[in-house]
Amino acid sequence: MRPRVRLSAAEARRIALAAQGLHRERPASAPDARHFRRAMQALKVLQLDFVNVLVPAHYLILWSRLGAYDRQRFDRFVYRSGDYTEQWAHEASIVPSDAWPLLAHRRAAYEPSKNNPLRKLRGRENYLAAVLEQVRDHGALTSADLPPLPGPKRRPGDWHRSIPRWALEYHFARGDVAVAQRLGNFQRVYDLPERLIPRGHLETSLDKAAADREMLWRAAEALGVATLRDLADYFRMSPREAAPRVEELVEEAVLHRVEVENWGEPGYLANTAQLPRAVEGASLLSPFDPIVWYRPRAERLFDFHYRIEIYVPASARKWGYYVLPFRVGDCIVARVDLKADRKTGRLLVLAAHEEPGVATGECAASLAAELRALSEWLSLETIAVSRSGDFARTLRAALRT
């Protein structure tokens, strides 16, 4: 689109949704590699999260754009094509393989955290070298394929990791190994990068400024219109280190400063941004969808205050345990606390809340249709709506029609 000096709040929403591919109707046929590639090109970064209360969150991000698709087919597309790889980008993420050199400076700077048990491991360097040699000599493996080693005892509430797992994750963070695939239990299988990533990407070298500038440009394309903080957050940079690179993008005329209604801080519009006349359709959104993952941006765009309450005590939760925003058109109109009860074959709506100013009947019908489609995709036979939330009764009625 042509550079703009000002944007209304509604225009900014439509640009943001279009940049993420949420302005298109879902495919009428079964999604294939073409659809996966188009979705990944829009996202740039697919944050991984394996909390399985409903479905792992990254699968839901694709669902929001594509509707029902074969998750195993998507996994094969990601892990067998050579076009994608796991990296620490915006948290643990799937990124295009050509992002490997962009993240080299982070890998080189990685050091274990102060609580990492490897810091206290006697003979650490020898052990880490032996683990890497095992991968080199015997090929792809998981932490379970390595000999066990005594480590810290598990504390209540901890995610337990064995010493072999800590070691492989250390090598992953440093770029000594990469992820070959995920097993059915979501466990990583590791192998050497040269066996997984195209040589051209492995041999590409960029200085940090050039790498950061490219990541910020990818963020700008994925966001459409954004503040400095939005751009920096996409690949987890600080605004301070991002600011000079953003100014360089402005000087190159690929980003344009723009004033956005009610934002209160400067916006930056990508020269690749699209402004559709309208955004149609509806979709449930993963808690880690880029359209809402940076909470200040979600508030600016949609006037939607969103927090994940998984780690909040049940008595202190306001909305629920695993709450998904629900979008209709260019607005977020409701939020629902969902759970897949696989033993009984039910999709549980533990709470349903509408946002202020919503056309309740239209919203309920759209949400009911989305829940039916989701339950079918997850092979759940029925939908059960609890009484919790101001939208629950209306939603139950819509599901009966």
Please report whether residue 320 resides in a domain. yes
Q: Residue 153's pLDDT is what?
A: 58
What CATH number has the domain bearing residue 325?
Answer: 3.40.630.30
Residue 121 lies in a domain: yes
pLDDT in tens, the chain (401 residues): 777 889 999 999 999 999 999 999 999 999 999 999 999 999 999 999 999 999 999 999 999 999 999 999 999 999 999 999 999 999 999 999 999 999 999 999 999 999 899 998 999 999 999 999 999 999 999 999 998 776 555 555 445 578 999 999 999 999 999 999 999 899 999 999 999 999 999 999 999 999 999 999 999 999 999 999 999 999 999 999 999 999 999 999 999 999 999 999 999 999 999 999 999 999 999 999 999 999 999 999 999 999 999 989 999 999 999 999 999 999 999 999 999 999 999 999 999 999 998 877 789 999 999 999 999 999 999 999 999 999 999 999 999 98
Q: In Å, how far are 8, 41, 79, 131, 194 from 82, measured between CA atoms? A: 41, 15, 7, 24, 11
Whether 257 is in a domain gets the answer yes
Asked if residue 395 and residue 340 are part of one domain, the reply reads: yes
- pLDDT for the residue numbered 147: 84
pTM score: 0.94
Angle between helices 239-251 and 208-223 (to 10 degrees): 80
Cα distances from 379 to residues 31, 74, 297, in angstroms, run: 18, 18, 34
The reply to whether 189 and 225 lie within a common domain is no
Same domain as 336, residue 376: yes
Q: Which of 197, 228, 244 is the last residue of a domain?
A: 197
Last residue of a domain, one of 147, 170, 197: 197
| Local structure of 3: helix, strand or coil | coil
Q: Containing domain of residue 182, as a range? A: 113-197
Residues 394 and 333 in one domain: yes
Residues 80 and 212 in one domain: yes
Identify whether the C-beta of residue 368 lies closer than 8 Å to the C-beta of residue 352: no
Q: Is residue 104, in this structure, part of any structural domain at all?
A: no
What pLDDT is recorded for position 26?
96
Indicate which CATH number applies to the domain containing 192: 1.10.10
| Per-residue pLDDT at 333 | 96
Query: Is residue 18 one of the residues assigned to a domain?
Result: yes
Q: Are residues 258 and 324 in the same domain?
A: no
Dihedral sign for Cα 61, 65, 71, 76, please: negative
For helices 9-19 and 208-223, the axis angle rounded to 10 degrees is 110
pLDDT score for 4:
83
As a whole number of Å, the end-to-end CA separation of the chain is: 42
CATH code of the domain in which 11 resides: 1.10.10.10
Residues 119 and 190 in one domain: yes
Q: How many structural domains compose the chain?
A: 3
Distance CA 286, CA 289 (A): 5
The CA distances from residue 57 to 32, 62, 91, 276, 312, in Å, are 20, 9, 13, 27, 19
Question: Based on the domain organization, do 84 and 229 belong to the same domain?
Answer: yes
Query: Does residue 101 belong to any structural domain of this protein?
Result: no
In this structure, is residue 281 part of a structural domain? no
Closest CA relative to residue 129, chosen from 157, 170, 178, 180: 170
Determine the pLDDT at residue 158. Answer: 46
The helix or strand, by DSSP H or E, that contains position 198, with its residue range, turns out to be none
d(CA 317, CA 90): 26
At residue 166, what is the residue type?
Answer: W
Domain identity same for 17 and 72: yes
- Whether 291 is covered by a domain: the verdict is no
What is the SS3 assignment for 373? Answer: helix
Are 351 and 371 in the same domain? yes
Distance, in Å, from the CA atom of 382 to the CA atom of 342, rounded to the nearest integer, reads: 11
Contact 86, 179 (CB under 8 A): yes
176 shares a domain with 53: no
Exposed, middle or buried, 190 (CB in 10 Å: 0-12/13-18/19+)? buried
Q: Looking at the structure, tell me whether residues 154 and 18 fall in a common domain.
A: no
Rounded Cα distance between 204 and 159, Å, is 36
Among 166, 197, 228, the domain-final residue is 197
